[in-house]
Chains A and B, each alone.
Chain A
Amino acid sequence: MSRLLSVEGLTTRFPLAGVHVPIVDESTFAIDRGEVLALVGESGCGKSMTALSIMRLVPKPGRIHSGRVELLGRDLLGLSVTEMRAVRGGRISMIFQEPMTSLNPVMRCGDQVVEAIRLHDEVSRKDALARCRELFVQVGIPDPDARLRAYPHQLSGGLKQRVMIAMALSTRPELLIADEPTTALDVTIQAQILRQLLELRREIGMSILLITHDLGIVNELADRVAVMYAGRIIEQGERTDVLGRALHPYTQGLLRSMPALATPGRRLPEIPGVVPSPAEWPMGCRFATRCQLAEDRCRREVPGATARSDNHVASCHAVEEGRAQAPAGGEPEGAAR
Chain B
Amino acid sequence: MTGGAGVSGTLRGARRPGPAWVVMLVCTLLACTNNPYPDADADKKILYTSFREAPRTLDPAVAYTTSAHAITGAVYETLLEYHYLKRPYTLIPGLAAGLPDTRSDAEGVTVYRFELRPGVLYQEDPSFGLGGAGRTTREVSTADIEFQLMRLADPAVNSPVVEPLSNVLGFRDFGERLRVRREAEPEFATLPAHEQYADVGPIEGVVVDAPLGLAVYVASDYPQILYWFAMPFTTPMPWEAVQYYDGEDGRPRLADHPVGAGPYVLAEYDKQARYVLDVNPNWYGVRHPEWKAPAATYPSEGEPEDLAAGRLDPAYVGRPLPFIERLEARREKEAIPYFNKFLQGYYDAAGVIRESFDKVIHEGGLSDEMARRGISLEKSVEPTVFYIGFNMDDEVIGTVAQEPGRKLRQAMSLVVDTEEYNRLFSNGRGVPAQSPLPPGIFGYDPDYVNPYRLVDLERARGLMKAAGYADGIDPETGKPLTLTFDTPDTSAQGRLRFEFFTHAWRQLGIDVEVAATNYNKFQEKVRNGAYQIFMWGWVADYPDPENFLFLLWSDMARSASGGPNTANFKHPRYDELYLEMKSKPNGEERMVLIREMTDILQRERPWIELNHAEDYALFHDWLSNVKPFGMSFPTVKYRDLDAGARTRQREAWNEPVLWPLYALIIIFVAVTVPGVVTFIRERQ
Chain A interfacial positions (CB closer than 8 Å to B):
80-81
Contacts and interface: CB of A to CB of B under 8 A. Distances in A.
Contacts of A80: 684
B681 to A, nearest CB: 10
B573 interface: no
B247 to A, nearest CB: 56
Contacts of B684: 80-81
Nearest to B684: A80
3 contacts: A80-B684, A81-B683, A81-B684
A220 B683 CA distance: 39
A81 B681 CA distance: 10
Interface range on chain B: under 10, 10 to 19, 20 to 34, or 35 or more? under 10
Closest 3 CB pairs of A and B: A81-B683, A80-B684, A81-B684
Interface in B628-684: 683-684
A81 B684 CA distance: 5
Interface of B: 683-684
A81 B683 CA distance: 6
A81 B682 CA distance: 9
Nearest to B683: A81
A80 B683 CA distance: 7
Nearest to A78: B684
Contacts of B683: 81
A83 to B, nearest CB: 10
A79 to B, nearest CB: 9
Nearest to B680: A81
Contacts of A81: 683-684
B443 to A, nearest CB: 85
A301 B245 CA distance: 103
A80 B684 CA distance: 4
A80 B680 CA distance: 10
A2 B227 CA distance: 116
A80 B681 CA distance: 9
A313 B292 CA distance: 122
A9 to B, nearest CB: 21
A219 to B, nearest CB: 40
A12 to B, nearest CB: 16
A117 B462 CA distance: 100
B679 to A, nearest CB: 11
B105 to A, nearest CB: 95
A9 B684 CA distance: 21
A266 B683 CA distance: 55
B677 to A, nearest CB: 14
A80 B682 CA distance: 10
A81 B680 CA distance: 9
Nearest to A63: B682
A159 B683 CA distance: 35
A292 to B, nearest CB: 46
A88 to B, nearest CB: 13
Nearest to A79: B684
A316 B683 CA distance: 37
A75 to B, nearest CB: 13
A3 to B, nearest CB: 26
B177 to A, nearest CB: 80
A246 B683 CA distance: 41
A104 B684 CA distance: 27
A299 B683 CA distance: 38
A49 B683 CA distance: 19
A264 to B, nearest CB: 56
A200 B84 CA distance: 104
A149 B683 CA distance: 36
B507 to A, nearest CB: 63
A176 B684 CA distance: 24
A227 to B, nearest CB: 33
A269 B639 CA distance: 108
B466 to A, nearest CB: 79
B675 to A, nearest CB: 15
B682 to A, nearest CB: 9
B42 to A, nearest CB: 56
Nearest to A81: B683
B197 to A, nearest CB: 76
A301 B684 CA distance: 36
Nearest to A56: B683
A101 B684 CA distance: 30
A175 B684 CA distance: 23
A85 to B, nearest CB: 10
B91 to A, nearest CB: 82
B28 to A, nearest CB: 37
A314 to B, nearest CB: 37
A65 to B, nearest CB: 14
A323 B339 CA distance: 95
A335 to B, nearest CB: 44
A48 to B, nearest CB: 22
A53 to B, nearest CB: 15
Nearest to A80: B684
A312 B415 CA distance: 105
A180 B470 CA distance: 93
A313 B505 CA distance: 97
